[in-house]
Amino acid sequence: MAKNWTEEDEQFIRDSFLTMTYSDLADRFDVSTKAMESKIRRMGLKKQEFLAEAVQAIDPTPAPPARPTPAEEPVPMPLESIQAMPRRTETAVETKEERKARLDAGRQAAADEKERRETARSDERFAKAVKRLEAGMKSLLQGQYAKAAKEFEAILKTPPTDMSMVARAKQYLETCKAHLERKAPAPKTTEDLYLHGVMQMNEGDLDGALSAFSAAAKKAPNDDRLAYGLAAVHAQGGEVEAAIDALQRAVEINEANRVFAKNDSDFTPLRVHKEFQDIVTPPLEEETE
C-alpha cells in the first residue's frame, strides 16, 4: 500500500537527505529503499547540486569575469561547405634570376622546335607529304571528297616524321569519309546513273564513275554520253586501249563528240597517241566542204 507523506515527513527528508543514506531514511519511514529514492527524486532533491553549491560557497577564489562580446560583432555561422571558407592567395615573387632562367628555357624550346621542323622539311617524304596535303586540301574545298581522301591516305601510308602533319592528314581523312558516307540513295535510272558517274568523276572517284557509266550503258547502249563518259574515265585511269574504243563508239553515235574530245582536258593522256588524233580529226571530205 502506498505511503501517505505528510508535510512533516517531507521537511524531515529535506533536512536529512544530505546526512542520512537512502537506506536509513527508508527505515525511518518504513518504506523500501527504492521507494525512498523515488520520493526524493519527485521532491527535486539532488545531492550533487547541493554539494556543488556548498563547495562554491566556501571557495575563496573568485570566478573570472565573463569576456564581453561586442554587440556589433556577428556570431560566426557554421560553413555549409569547405569551399565557402575564405582563402588567402599567395603569389610567389619571381626573382630576376628565376625570370631569366624561365625566358631562356622558353627560347631554347622554341629554337629546338624550329630545328626539328627544318630537319623534317629536309626529308624527301616530308616534301612529298606537303604536296599531297595541299592537293588534298584543294580537292576537299572543291567538294571532291573521294579524290581528297586518296591524297590523305597516301600521306598516312608513308608518313613523314612531322607528327603534326600526320595528325592533320588523319583529321582531314575522317572529314572526307564522313561526307562520302552521307551519299544519296543508289541511283537506278539511266539518267541518275549518268549524273552519278559525272559527280564521282568530278570527285576523283574513277572506280565509282566507271561503275555508274557501265551500269547505265547496259540500260542504254546507244546513249553517246555514256560511251563518252567511259572513254574519259579510261583515259584518266591510263587505260589507253579501252579509252580509244569507248571514244570511237561515242563518235559513231554522235559526231559532235569528235569536237568535244579534241578540246576536253580529260583526254590529255591520249593526245600523244595516233589513234586519238585520228578520232578527233574530221574526215578529209568534211574538211574540204
186-215 residue pLDDT tens: 677 888 888 888 888 887 888 989 999 999
Domain final residue pick, 181, 203, 221: 181
Burial 93-114 (b: 16+ CB within 10 A, else e): eeeeeeeeeeeeeeeeeeeeee
Q: How many domains does the chain have?
A: 3
7-29 residue pLDDT tens: 888 888 888 877 788 888 888 88
Specify whether 156 is located in the same domain as 118. yes
What are 80's three cell numbers? 555549409
How does pLDDT run along the chain (289 residues), one tens digit per residue? Answer: 667 888 888 888 888 877 788 888 888 888 888 888 888 888 888 766 555 554 454 445 555 555 555 555 555 555 555 555 566 666 667 888 888 898 989 888 888 877 766 766 667 778 888 888 899 888 888 888 888 888 999 989 888 877 888 888 898 899 888 887 775 566 778 888 888 888 888 878 889 899 999 999 999 999 999 999 999 999 999 999 999 999 999 999 999 999 899 889 999 999 999 999 999 998 765 444 4
DSSP 122: T
Specify whether 198 is located in the same domain as 278. yes
Specify whether 272 is located in the same domain as 212. yes
Please report whether residue 77 resides in a domain. Answer: no
Specify whether 244 is located in the same domain as 207. yes
Output the pLDDT for position 289: 44
CATH code where residue 248 lies = 1.25.40.10
Output the pLDDT for position 251: 92
Query: Does this model's pTM top 0.75?
Result: no
Q: In whole angstroms, what is the distance from residue 23 CA to residue 227 CA?
A: 128
Output the pLDDT for position 58: 46
Q: Which domain holds residue 34?
A: 8-56
Other CB atoms within a 10 A radius of the CB of residue 253 amount to 16
Q: In whole angstroms, what is the distance from residue 205 CA to residue 211 CA?
A: 10
